[in-house]
Structure 1
Amino acid sequence: MQFNYMAPRWKWKGAEAKALAEPISKSVSELQLSLAETESSGTLSSSNVLLAVEPEQAELLDRCCFGRLVLSAEKVKKWIQLSFEEAFYLLYNLKCIKISLQGRCLENEVDTWLYMKSKRPNFPMFFKAYSHLRSKNWVLRSGLQYGVDFVAYRHHPSLVHSEYSVLVQSGDSDRLRVWSDIHCAVRLSGSVAKTLLTLYVNGKFKGEDLNLPVCLENFTVEEQTISRWSPELSREDNPQIQNKMLPM
C-alpha cells in the first residue's frame, strides 16, 4: 500500500537540495561500513543500548538519525544511546555492531533478541514496524510527545518536519477500536501538521515461535493512513474539483 502523498515541509531554503545531494541511504551505507570495520560494541541496559564510537562515527550516526549523543567529558570516544529498535536494526539488519551484557559479548543475535523481548514483550511487533519503515529510508524518532509510537521523517529532522505520526497495532490490539479513539488520534495528528499512519503487524505474537528473530519473516505489515474528511474539498464550486468533473 502506498502512503497518501503530502508535500514535505522543508525547514529552510536549500534544505531540499541538501537532502537530494545527501540521501539517507548513502549515509547508512557509509555508517554500516565504518562500524563493521571497527567492530563497534554496545552495552545493553534495561531499556536501551549504549554504543561507544569514534567522533567521526558519532557524526555518521547523527546523519543517519540513529540514537542520541550522551554528553560526557571523554574526548577519545563518543557515547550514543540507542533504543532497542535502533540497536537491533544495526545488529540484525545491517550487521555492523556487536552487543554485550554485563561485560560479556553476546555470541549471537538470538541472545540479544531474547533479552530485549524479556524486557519488552511487544518488542517483536514494534521492531517489525520500525524495520519496515527504516528499510524504506524513512527516519523514525519517538512519538511519545505526540501520543503515538513513532514520528516519520523523509530525511534528517534538521532539514524537514516529520510527515507521519505512526501507531503500531496487531490483530489483538485494543487501540483505535472505538470511534472516539480514532477521532482523538486524527485530530491530534492534524493539529501538528502530520498524517496518522497505522501499521498493522500481522502474525503470531505468542508461543515459542517468537524465541528466534527469524520469526520476523513470517510477519507482514499493512500500512493505512487516516485523515479527516474536509467538506470543502468536495464542494461542487471548488475549482479544483470542477476541473476533474466529467461532462454530463
Structure 2
Amino acid sequence: MSKKLSRAFFRSSPVQWFFAGFLAAWMALVRVTTRWTFVGQEHAEPVWKSGKGVVWCYWHSRIMGAHSIWPTDVQKMLMLISLSPDGQFVARAAELVGRTVVRGSSSKKKADGETEDKGALQAFRQMLSHASKGGCVGITPDGPRGPRMRAQLGAVRVAKMAKVPLLPSAFAVKGGGYAKSWDRFHLPPLFSRGVIVYKPAIALPAKASEADMEAARLALEIALTEAMQEADRLVGGPLIEPAPPATAAEEAEA
C-alpha cells in the first residue's frame, strides 16, 4: 500500500471511529485500573474549590492522561484539539469519555503573506467564554506540532483575557511506552502504578503587559517540564528534555 493510500485509509471515517473507540476505552480503563499517587494536589484543590475558571495545561505527550488528571466533579473541562485529520479521532475519543471538545489550530501564513485562520479565532472565543464563566480549558501549550516542551503563548492569552489562573500538571504510569515521535508520546499500560503531579497555579497581573505574559509563559514552560520529569522519575521512566526553541523562521511557518 502506497503512503498516500495508507494515509487515506487511516483517515477514513470508519477507521477513525474505530481508533476513537479504542482510545476512549483505553483512557477510561487507565483512569480506573491505575493505582494513582498524587503529588502537589494541594495546588489544585483551591482552584477546584473556587468554582472559578482555569486554564489547565499539560504537555502534548500526556494527552492519554487528560481524562485521569482532571476530575469529573469540578470545573467542566473544554479540551482544545487541533483541526488536523490526526486530531479527529482524539477529539472523538475525548467526547466518548464525556469531555467537551473545541477544535482549532494555530494560524498559518500562506505563500502570499496573508494569514490563514485555521479555526484559531473561533476556538479562542469559545475557550475565553468557557473560562470566563467558571469552566476549565485544557490546553497542550506545545501542540499540535511542537517544538516539544516549549510553551506557546495561546494558553497565557486565554488566561489573561478570561482573568483566570494557569494550572500546570503532568502524569506518568509505570511500564508505559515512550514513542519516538516529536513529543515522545507516553502510552500508559493498564493495571499499573501511576503518578499525577500538579504545580502551583500561575496568576497573571490584572493589567498584564507583554513582559508579564512572556514571564508567565516561561514560568508555565518550566513548571510543566518539572512536573513531567518528576512524574516520569517517580515511575522509573526516562528523562525527557525539551527540544530546542523554534527559530523565527519556524514560528512564521507554524
* TM-score between both structures, scaled by the size of structure 2: 0.30
Higher helix share: 2
Question: Larger Cα Rg: Structure 1 or Structure 2?
Answer: 1
Q: Which has the higher strand share?
A: 1
Question: What is the TM-score normalised by the length of structure 1?
Answer: 0.31
